Every structure is written in structure tokens, then in C-alpha cells.
Structure 1
Amino acid sequence: MTNYILRRLLASVLILLGASYIVYLLIAYSDDPLAELRASNDPGKQAKIATRTEMLNLDVAPPLRYFIWFRGAAQCVVPFVGKCDLGVTLQNQPVTAALGAAIPTTLRFVTAAVLLAIVIGITIGVITALRQYSTLDYSVTFVTFLFFSLPVFWVAVLLKEFGAIRFNDFLADPYISNTAIAVISVVAGLLWAVIISGTWRSRGIAFGIGAVVTGVVLYSLSATRWFTTPSLGVVVIALTGVAIAYGATALLAGLQNRRALYSSLISVALAVVAYFVAAPLLDIASVWTIVFLGIAAVVVGWLVGRFMGGFDPAQSAKSSALTSFAVAGLVLIDRFMQAWPEYFKITRGRPIATIGSETPNLKGDLWVTGLDSFTHVLLPTLALILISVATYTRYSRASMLEVMGQDYVRTGRAKGLSERVVITRHAFRNALIPLATIVAIDIGAIIGGAVITERVFSWKGMGQLFIQGVLHVDPNPVMGVFIVTGIAAVTFNLIADLCYSALDPRVRVKA
């Protein structure tokens, strides 16, 4: 396996070298970086031309100039060679400093978009595969093909218009008209009718219940002006926690494992108690406090499951830990919501941001600054998710359908294994093998989409740095972005290879 990894690394390095050489030449030959100065009427333009020529080594031919750049770039990856040097921009700013400011900005929403797209897309794909040729399957197929065909810049512009500008206008007077409530209720009822499988009678009941519940909820939100002072409250947290407990138990242990179910429900009860006990601590919390409380929630849930035991204590512990973590997340969301009125006032009634990655000169505690980060990252992340989810949904559905027809799946059912065990332990794991490749490739595609998304939402990340370098014929920042994205692509492809060996033991044998 070690030889296999070394071979892949060597091949990846050679590909990076060749690609970087081509990209550098394309940028260098695209235009003259001194054209703006030559057209200037500035009396000192000759001195400026000489300075820029010396600074960027423009007196050296681009094929040879690449090796000057490469000598400094090699110091970034080879230890104990020297200081990392990726050159300077036209503004005489070190590229390393520019990347240091741009990378965290881009990673803020790219990381969230990748993780959410993978989880949501694979989940939907597996569900539609298990419900093949159902109304849900046809509906999801239509929606995914629709989103897959949409250009990311158009999606981003629509989100700015309807998700930010018009929603902010709505927040000025958050009243939902009866007509809007009726339309949304009907749509929600149709969605539940599509999701629920069974006879037309059961679907009609699902439509009626879904429409009525949605209408009541929307009317209550409008009447109580919930959008100006939002909160979940202990009742919603408790009811949602019970639903999570049943779902986690059904997924990880099966509802027939009563000890696992009771462990999860006990975790919900403990989380409700912690909602009141931890309130004073959350008011003065820091990031590390939140991390510690999250770890504590998982540990407590695990211990509850182990204490309850049952015929498989590990299943009880996993279900309880997952439930405890999820409900702790609900408590955290509720605490952020409590800071909404203050943040709403700070932003002068326009909380959903359309430009930038943060509000300038914002002052506030952890909860206010957290809300600010969320409202700025929300729409760019959503734009990338909508495009990427379609890809993961289609591939995961196709992979799951192929696996479900294999002999070992039929053998598992013939042995009397439950459908949950057949799907989660046998089919799902093997369905992930081809998806590992898709994830590795899609990382680069999402970063490429981030270039356009950053442009639409005016984020000063790697996309902005790349565009400015291309527009001003500045190879150094373009190459800096290329190196970061290239190394990321190589890394994730190597991770995909390691995932192959974890998911399929035959890969280790062949390697």
C-alpha cells in the first residue's frame, strides 16, 4: 500500500509541474502587464516601468521566468530549504500574504458547501433509490436535473434578489397574508403527499395533515411576529428531540432495540434539563466553551447508552450519543436566535447580507458575531449547495441501485437480516466506493464555482484574487491560487484512494 501511495504522489507531482508551467505561460503571454503604464501620461512612468520590470522579472522570457517563480514556490513544500516565496503582485504585496487573507475567506463557505452537499445529496440519492419509480423518485429526478442545468452565477443572483433583498423587505413588516399561507400550505401538503408512500388514501391524509399543520404554523409565526424575535423554546426542542431519538434509533439500532430507544429518549430529557442549567454559562460562552459542551454532550449520551446496555450496548451508545449531539445543536441554535433582535437592530433591519464576508466594524459577543458570519455565508453556501446536491443525488442513486441488485444483498435478505441491516451494513458501504471518486473531483469543481460566487457576493477570497490576477496579467497571484487548488485536488484524490482501501479490501490486495 505504501508503494501504491508513493506512486500516486509522484504522478500527481509531475502533473502539477506540467499544469503549472502551462498555466504560467498562458497568463504571461495573454497580455502586457506594462500596457497600463505605457499608456499613462505620468512623467515618472519610465521609472515605474523599470521598477515593475525588475520586481516581476519581466526582462526574462516567460518560459525561463517560470523557473524563477518555481524556485521560490519549491521552498513552500520542501522543508528546511528556505522561506516560502510565491512572488509579489503588481501592487508589490507578497502573494503569500494575499493568500493568507484569501484562503480562510473562501474556506468559510466552500467547506460548509462541500460537507452539506455530500450529506444531503447522498441521503436523498439513497432514499430515492429505495423508492425507485415512485412519485418521490420522479419528483427528485426532475428537481435535480433542473438544478444541475442551472449556471451558478444565475442561482447566486436569484438568491440575492429573493433570499436577501426581498426577505429583508419582508422583515420590515413580517406579516404573512392569508393568500400566501394558503398557497404555501397547499405546496407543503403536496410535498408530504409525494414523500409518503402507500395508497392514494394515505397520501390524501398526508396532504391534509401537512397542509393544515403548515397553515397553523405560518399563521402562528405571523401573529406572534416570530421573525423579529425568533426562538425554538424548550417545547419545540423536546418534541424535535423525541423525533430525532426515534430516527437515530431506527437508523443505528432498529426500533426493536428498546434499550437503545430508551437511551436516546433519556438523552433528550437530559438535554432539556441542560437547556435551563447551562443558560447562564452560554451567556458568557466562548468558542472553546461551545466545543467543550458539544464533546460533553456526546460523552454523556455515550455513557447513557452504555449504562442502559441491552443485547448490543454499542448500538445503544451510538444512538444515544447521536441524539444527544443533535439536541445539543438545537439548544445552540436557540441561543443564537435569542441574539437575533440585537443583531437585527445593529444591521438596521437588513440582516441578510448581499455583499462581503462580514459587517465592517461590528462589535458584539460570540452570538452576535456568529449571526453575522452566518448571514454572510448563508447565500454563497446555498448557491454552491444547490448545484452540487444534484450531482451527488444522481450518482448516489445510481450507485445504490446497482448495489441493491447484487447477489450478496439478496443473500443477506435470504439469511433473515432486517432491511435496515442489509441497507446500512451491506449495500450502503459498497455504494460509497464510486462516490469517493466523485467527491474528490467535485472539490475542485466547487472551488472553481466559488470564483464566480465570490464575484457575485463581493467576497475577497481566492476567487477575487484569481480574477484580479487574470484581468491585470499578474501571473503570481494566479499561480498562488493554482498551487492551493492543485494541492487540494491531489490531497483529496489521495484521500479517495485511501477510502477505496477502507471500503473495499481488494484494493489493498491489488496494491
Structure 2
Amino acid sequence: MLVFIARRLFVSIWVFLASTVVIFFLATNIRDPLAQARQLPDAARESAIAEITERLHLGDPLLVRYFRWLGDALTGDLGNNITGQSVNTLLEEAFTATLQLVLGAMVLAIVVGITIGVIAALRQYSALDQGTTFIAFICFSLPLFWTATLLKDFLAIDFNDWLAEPEISWTFTLGMALIAGLIGGALVVGDRRTRLTVFGGTLLLTAVLLRVLSATEWFADPGLGFVIVALTAVAGAAGFTSLVSGLEWKPPLQAALVAAGLGIVAYFALGEVLEDPTLVTIALLALLTAGICFGVGWYLGGDLYRRSAIPAAIFTGLFAGALIFVDRMLSSFEGYSESVAGRPISTIGAETPNYEGTFWEGGLDSFGHLALPTLALVLLSLAQYTRYTRASMLEVMNQDYVRTARAKGLGERAVITRHVLRNGLIPITTLGAYDVGVVLGGAVVTETVFGWRAMGTLLLTGIDTGDPMPIMAFFLVTGGAIVVFNMLADIIYAFLDPRIRLS
């Protein structure tokens, strides 16, 4: 493997260097950097032209300018832009904003898209499969600028207005209950009577829940509370155990339930610690949770069930911690909403200017600015991950080794998770590796609609002013990410499919 990595790295470096030559040539010839200076009055024109010429070394041959840039870039200095600002500083700010904007959207699209694709493949040609296919194609065909504008109108302006008097109408209640009932009926496996029963139960439960939330004005001062956190943590323990090993194995279920119980205890025990924590405190608590749950799974799983008990306990513990995190953040919603004049969902920018609040209020501020652009990006990316996963799963399910696994007596869960899904993720790995470089380049349309100054803005500014320095900084990040993550994808292939050998 080390030889493979060294060989790929050697080739990638030369490909990347060759790419920088091409990009530098294009960046320096895309537009005249002196165009704006030539439009200045006579008194200032000559000095402005001389200053820009000296700053960008326009008097030197193109090859000399490239090697000067390359030598500075190898030392970590990306130079100054046409106005004299440090490109390193501009890149750091733009890259941080881009990570905030696209990282969550990419993770959500991958996780949710793969999940929906797996379910659709397992229920091929069912109502659920056809419904997800229809929705996926709609999302894939939506113009991003149009989707972003609609989200700003309905999920920001109208929703913020509605929060002033959060009363749910009967029309909305019946509509959401009907949608929830249809989804529940499509998910369940069984005859028509079973589906109708689930449809009716889900419809009634959703309608009652929405009416209770409306009567109590929960949206004005939301929060989960101890009862909801405890019940959801226990349900999560059953769900994670079912996915990992099945509920018929008692040790993994016991380990997951103990992890859920520890989370319920932590709800009260960590009251003072979570009053106004820092991000480092939250990260340390997450690591501590994973370590404790690892020990619980190790002890209760024993030699026979340890392999299943450990992940069941860790997933449940982290899930319970996430519930506590969400409850604390929602409890601060009323105070945050009042501090931003009742407009918690923002339509522009990455943060509220000069806003100071607690850790939880700061988190709500970040969420309010990220919600709409993240949703816009997820709607478009979700479709491709769903379709790729479904197609890959269906192809793998027809392979001979899958039929052999079933013939040997392996349970359906083991066949799907250990054979079908594992090998079906290979095309998704390729798609994800490519997407990383693309999203790090910035969602230019999304940034423009929602007023974010990130990687896309850095690139457009360089193109508009004819400044090659920001363009090259943009390419260093995106091109480098594509090279690195494609090499990582090749390595991951060997872990997903034992038939692949990197040697």
C-alpha cells in the first residue's frame, strides 16, 4: 500500500504542477488588470498603473511571473491581490466560510441520500421506490437560484412572520398528517391491511401532535424536555441495536440501553457544565461519551457479542448526547429570537453583525444563517446520491456472491450490510471524492443569493478584476482537494472490496 500511495502521490504532484501552469496562463490573460486604473483621472492614472504593474510584476515575462508565484506558494506565501491585500488572509476567511456553508450540506446529502437509496433498492418498484424516484428527479432538475429565492421567501420571511403568532391551521395540520401517513404506509412491509393500519395510525398521531404543539405555542419557546429526551434515547437504543445486530441478541440491546440510561443521567448531572460551555467542552464530552460507551459494550457484550455491542452502545450514547445538545439549544431559542427582533431565520450573510450571546445562542445564530443555503444545496445533491446508491445496490444484489451468502444461511441483515451495501458504496466513494473538491470550490450561486463571501466570491472577484493571485489561491484549494481525495478514494476501495488489491 505504501508503494501505491508513493506512486500515486508522485504522479499527482506532476499533474498538479502542470495544471497550475495552465491555470496561471489563463488567469493572467482572462482580463486586463489595468482596465480600471486606465479610467481614472489623469492625475491619478499614471501612479495607479505603476503601482499595479509593480505589485503584480506585469513588466516581467509570463514564465518569470509563474516561477516567482510558484516559489512563494511553496513557502506558504500566496502574494497580494490587485489592491494590496494579503491573499493568504482572504483565502483563510473564504475557506472558513465555505466549510461552514457546504460541509453540513455535503454530510447531510451523503447520509440521507445513501439511506433513501438503500431503502428504495430494497423496496424496488414499490410505491416508496417510485415516490422517491419522482422526488429525486424533481430536486435534481430544480434551478438553484430559483430554489434559493423560494426558500428565502417562504422559509425565512413568511416563517419569521408566523413565529410572531405561531398557530398551526387545520389545513396545514391535515396536509402534513396526510403526507406523514403516506410515508408511513409506504415504509412498512406487509399486506394492504397492515399498510392501511400504519397509514391511519401515523396520520392520527401526526395530527394530534401538531394540534398539541399549536395549542401550547411550542414554537415560540421550544424545547424537548426530560421525558422526550428519555423516551427518544430508549427508542434510539432499540433502533441502533436493530441495525447493528437485531433485537434477538440480548447483550447488544442491554449495552445500548445502559448507554441510553447513562445519557438520561447526564441530562441532570451535566446541568452546570452545559450552562454556557465552549466548543472544546462539547468535543471532550463527546469523546468521553464514546469512551465510556466503548467500555460498556466491551463488558456487556462478552467474547461472543462484543463486536455488535460496542457500536450499538457508542451510537446510542452519542445519540443521547445529541438529544441533550438539541434540547439545550432549543431552550435558548426564545432569548435569541428576542435579541434579533423575532427574525431567527436569516436570509443574508454568515452571521449577525456584532452579535454577542451564550454558546447556545451563538449556535442558534449560526444555524439561522446556515439553514436556507444548506437546504438549497442538500435538495440538489440529495438526488444524485439517492439515484447512484439505488442503482449500485440493485447491481450488487444480483451478483453471484450475494446469492451464495443467502444460500449459506446468512441473515438478510448480514447480507445487506456486510456484502451488498459494502460493495455498493464503491461508486458512491468515487462520487463523494469528486464532490469534495467541487464543494470546496464554493457554491457560487448559493453564495450570491444568500450574501456569503466565500471561495466562490474569491474566484469571481479575481476574474472581474483580472487578478491572477486570488484565482491561483482558489485553484490550490480545489485542485489539491480533488487530487488528495481521489487518492483516498482509491485506498478506501480496498477496504470496501477485498478483491481489490492496491499492490
TM-score (norm 1): 0.94
CA distance in 1, matches of 2:441, 2:77: 24
Alignment of 1:346-495 (within 5 A): 346-448=339-441, 450-495=443-488
Report the Cα offset of residue 266 of structure 1: 2.3
Cα distance in 1, alignment partners of residues 152 and 376 from structure 2: 10
String of CA shifts for 1:358-397, please: whole Å, max 9, x gaps: 1111111211111111211222222222211111111111
Distance 1:337 1:170 in 2: 18
One-letter amino acid of the counterpart of residue 345, structure 1: E
Which residue, 170, 174, 194 being the options, matches 1:178?
Answer: 170
Q: RMSD between aligned alpha carbons?
A: 1.7
Give the superposition deviation at 1:449: 5.5
Deviations 1:305-358 (A, max 9, x none): 233235412312221221111011101110011111111011110011111111
Task: Tell me, yes or no, if structure 1 residue 274 matches structure 2 residue 266.
Answer: yes
Partner of 1:130 in structure 2? Answer: 122
Structure 1 partner of 2:27? 27
Look up the SS of the partner of 1:463 in the other structure: helix
1:325-344 map, 5 Å: 325-344=318-337
Q: Deviations over 1:273-323 (max 9, x none)?
A: 211121122113222221222222222322222332354123122212211
Q: Distance in 2 between matches of 1:449 and 1:108?
A: 11
Deviates most, 432-441 or 346-355:
432-441
- Provide the rounded CA distance (Å) in 1 between the counterparts of 2:196 and 2:420: 32
Q: 2: CA distance between counterparts of 1:6 and 1:176?
A: 60
Pairwise CA distance, 1:61: 4.4
Give the structure 2 partner of residue 108 of structure 1: 100
Name the structure 2 match of 1:158: 150
Offset, 1:493 = 0.5
C-alpha contact 2:31 2:464 (8 A) present in aligned 1: no
Q: Match of 2:443, SS? A: helix
Q: Does 1:228 align with 2:220?
A: yes
- Correspondence for 1:319: 312
Q: How many residues align?
A: 502
Question: Contact 2:350 / 2:366 at 8 angstroms: preserved in 1?
Answer: yes
Deviation at 1:60, TM superposition (A): 3.0
Partner of residue 169, structure 1: 161
Post-superposition Cα deviations, 1:412-463, rounded to whole Å, max 9, x if no partner, equal 1111111111111122111122221111112223334512211111111111
SS of match in other structure, 1:279: coil
Does residue 208 (structure 1) correspond to residue 200 (structure 2)? The answer is yes
Report what 1:80 is aligned to. Answer: none
The alignment partner of 1:189 has SS state of helix
How far did 1:87 drift?
Answer: 2.0
5 Å matches for 1:21-100?
Answer: 21-41=21-41, 43-62=43-62, 64-75=64-75, 84-100=76-92
Contact 1:152 1:449 in 2 (8 A): no
Q: What are the ranges of 5 or more consecutive residues in structure 1 without an aligned counterpart?
A: 76-83
The one-letter code matched in structure 2 to 1:378 is A
> Secondary structure in 1 aligned to 2:178?
helix
Contact map agreement 1:384 1:446 (CA 8 A) in 2: no
- CA–CA distance in 1 between the matches of 2:315 and 2:211? 33
How far the C-alpha of 1:63 sits from its partner, in A, is 5.1
- Of the three residues 229, 234, 242, the one matched with 1:250 is 242
Structure 1: distance between partners of 2:415 and 2:198: 28
Q: For 2:423 and 2:470, how far apart are their aligned partners in 1? A: 41
Q: Say whether the 8 Å CA contact 2:181–2:198 is kept in structure 1.
A: yes
> Quick one: distance in 2 between partners of 1:381 and 1:332?
20
The answer to whether the Cα contact below 8 Å between 1:384 and 1:449 also exists between their aligned partners in 2 is no
What is the Cα deviation at residue 168 of structure 1?
0.9
Report the AA paired with residue 460 of structure 1: R
Distance 2:442 2:358 in 1: 33
Alpha-carbon distance between aligned partners in 1 of 2:124 and 2:351, rounded to the nearest angstrom: 44
Q: Give TM-score scaled by structure 2 length.
A: 0.96
Q: Is 2:285 aligned against 1:293? A: yes
Shift of residue 154, structure 1, vs aligned partner: 2.4
Aligned pair 1:496/2:489, yes or no? yes
How far does residue 17 in structure 1 lie from its aligned partner after superposition?
2.4
Matched AA of 2:8: R
| Equivalent residue letter for 1:365 | T
Q: Which residue of 2 aligns with 1:147?
A: 139
Query: 1:4 deviation in Å?
Result: 2.4
Check the 8 A contact 1:309/1:316 in 2, yes or no: yes
